[in-house]
Amino acid sequence: PVICFVRDDIVIPNIGPEKSAKFMPYLLSVFFFILINNVMGIIPFPPPFGANVTGNLAVTMSLALFTFFIIQFNGTKNYWRHIFATPGVPFWLLPVMVPVEMIGMISKPFALTVRLFANITAGHIIIMSLLSLIFIFESVLVSPVSILFVIFMNALELFVAFLQAYVFTLLSALFISLAVVDEHH
């Protein structure tokens, strides 16, 4: 059901039925990699096993760079024409538009990287802050309230784990679709 969800609700609506088969293995791999690692990061294993992989900036940047290179290598001539000679723009404005389009190319993987990293890291920081309240107040009386909030945040983290896998895959599919769109669209 999850594979069908990714295929039918993320990949095919964004990339299209004729080109979706080419990018489906990558997008499914990214979705399940992020989802499984986010869920594994919630489970409180003792160190060094309980690591949150997507809370590492290098991992999220690597995933975003994979998407970036897929976009660049599969970009159609229409995609490159929009970057280097934007249609409908006066000729004298092209020296301004090309750097703007290049910044747009770079900002896509940066947005993917920061979005995933920040959302996963923020939840873990909140949970650690709530647990540290017990030690800050140096009282056992604070612990029931703190633990209840931690349980609530863990449930929210589980939701965020699924949501971030969905959002990263959706944005990757959307960015890929912008590069492989045919000229008549």
- pLDDT bin (cut points 50, 70, 90) of residue 50 is low
Q: Residue 97: pLDDT above 90?
A: no
Q: What is the pLDDT of residues 120-129, one digit of tens each?
A: 888 888 888 8
Q: Which pLDDT score is estimated for 184?
A: 60
Q: Which pLDDT score is estimated for 167?
A: 95
Output the pTM of the full model. Answer: 0.87
What average pLDDT does this structure show over 32-42?
90
- pLDDT bin (cut points 50, 70, 90) of residue 47 is low
Q: Residue 46: pLDDT above 70?
A: no
Q: Which pLDDT score is estimated for 28?
A: 96
| HEC-encoded secondary structure of the chain | CHHHHHHHHHHHHHHCCCCHHHHHHHHHHHHHHHHHHHHHHHCCCCCCCCCCHHHCHHHHHHHHHHHHHHHHHHCCHHHHHHHHCCCCCCHHHHHHHHHHHHHHHHHHHHHHHHHHHHHHHHHHHHHHHHHHHHHHHCCHHHHHHHHHHHHHHHHHHHHHHHHHHHHHHHHHHHHHHHHHCCCCC
Q: Which pLDDT score is estimated for 135?
A: 87
